[in-house]
Amino acid sequence: MNKILYLLLIFLFISNCSLDTKSGLWTKSEKLDSENKKLEVKIFEEDEVYEKELNTGLKIKLNNNFKENSFINNLSNNNGVINFDGTIDKIKKFKFSKIDNFDNYQPELIFTNTNNLIFFDDRGSVLNFSPDNKLIWKENYYSKREKKLKPILYFAANEKTLIVADSISKYYAINIYDGKLNWIKNNIAPFNSQIKVFKDKFFVVDFENILRCFSIKDGNEIWNFKTEKSFIKSQQKLSLIINNNRVIFVNTLGDVSSVDIETGNLIWQTPTQSSDIYENYFSLKNSDLILANNTIYFSNNQNQFFAIDQRNGVVKWKQNLNSNLRPTFADSLVFTITLEGYLAAIDSRNGNIIRMTNIINKIKNYKKENIKPIGFIISQDKIYLSLSNGRLIIIETLTGKLVEIKKIDNEKISRPYVLNNDMYIIKDNAILKLN
């Protein structure tokens, strides 16, 4: 009996003690801890950002015949491929009052079906310019107190109506031809997203992470879809796309949701951020969502670039790239530009990086000036990238080589827009027409 008790005590001692690894004697819990540590290391390594040049000599030729839609305000998939011959000989200015906090803006430029330009100034006035630089109308629907708040306006339009939602909780509709107010309403929270128009409805996300569907006719809410609230706010507009009677959007937690366009019912939801986001981030900078071939492409705040099946929300692949710029799909490739200035061409089918070229390091004093990419568009043979120091750089799509650097301004400029072979870039007190 004593012998049995003695053996039992030895067994319990061994089972509950962690011996030195050199002894070769490990407890079960020790083994699990070791495996977890290995797993943590592996995960950390997988999350490391890929930042190095790859296949810089590889030539990429885009064969698609890209056609630009003359009325481009309601692009459901945020596409950024255009037809542009690259001629930039002169600059024409459409001037407005200076926007003091322009560094925090992601301005959207609206083109009407008559090729007019619609934008806003620092006090919430909506401006309509003709193609030849004449002010057609200017309207402001804010009180003196509201003007002092300097609201940021978000736009969308159909052929007759301009929809506006803002950073101080107002939303309203304007006749696009004369600027007259159709209706104006207040939301319970400010807005911070793109606006998408579909038939007689428009869709926008507010600061409560709620997707709201409104009637264009009268502004009444038709339905809303609530996602998890968060103290984390987005540093740039949240992104929406529309496809196959679905609204797909991303919230400030990085959750991508697909919602039925008629009912507001959830179809699927895919998280793209880990739980430590609450510990490490107070604001997000997700890229815009884009849609091509039933696949959603975007990058999140944790240095991951995703391809998600828009039919079911399944993640097809992800790549470790730290971009917050709107990507662009062309042929079978997805293009993005990282925060450090690397142009990446990615195989859309599997996520493999085909070519990666550092394009910003060729700019003099780029590290000293802390130059950051702002946004880009792609023609068939050129890539046009706006920078935070007011430069527009032109890159050859075929080789990834830097072709030219054009000084547009001394400070931040917006991403380029193209209409009828003219390029438009927004600065803090004017829209610049380059042709």
What residue spans of 129-196 are helical by DSSP H? 144-148
Helices and strands: H and E segment counts in the chain: 5, 34
The CA-atom distances, in angstroms, between 425 and each of 15, 325, 378, 387 are 70, 16, 15, 11
What is the torsional sign of CA 364, 366, 371, 372? positive
Which amino acid is located at 33 in the chain? Answer: D
pLDDT attached to residue 273 = 81
Q: What is the pTM of this model?
A: 0.85
pLDDT attached to residue 36 = 39
pLDDT-derived band at 421 (thresholds 50, 70, 90) equals confident
Sheet containing 422-427, strands listed edge to edge, beginning at the edge strand earlier in sequence: 91-95, 430-434, 422-427, 417-419
Lowest mean pLDDT across 35-39, 92-96, 335-339:
35-39
Residue 214: in which H helix or E strand, if any? strand 210-215
DSSP 109: -
Residue 319 neighbours by CB under 8 Å, 6+ apart: 50, 304, 305, 346, 351, 353
The Cα–Cα gap between 283 and 252 comes to 8
Q: What is the average pLDDT value for the chain, to the nearest integer?
A: 83
Query: Which tens digits make up the pLDDT trace of 210-249?
Result: 999 999 999 999 999 999 987 767 667 899 999 989 999 9
Tokens of 231: 């103290």
The CA-atom distances, in angstroms, between 178 and each of 101, 126, 136, 138 are 29, 11, 8, 9
Is the model more confident about 169 or about 229? 169
The Cα–Cα gap between 56 and 361 comes to 14
Instruction: Tell me, rounded to whole angstroms, the distance of Cα 176 from its chain centroid.
Output: 27
Is the model more confident about 254 or about 19? 254
Is the model more confident about 134 or about 380? 134
Residue holding tokens 């339009």? 157
User: Residues 143-157: what's their mean pLDDT?
Assistant: 94
Residue 75 has pLDDT above 90, yes or no: no
The Cα–Cα gap between 397 and 38 comes to 41
Residue 133: other Cβ atoms inside 10 A: 13
Q: Which range, 39-43, 361-365, 406-410, has the best average confidence (pLDDT)?
A: 406-410
pLDDT attached to residue 65 = 60
Residue 243 neighbours by CB under 8 Å, 6+ apart: 76, 77, 291, 310
CATH architecture for segment(s) 49-434: 7 Propeller (2.130)
Tokens of 379: 């023609």
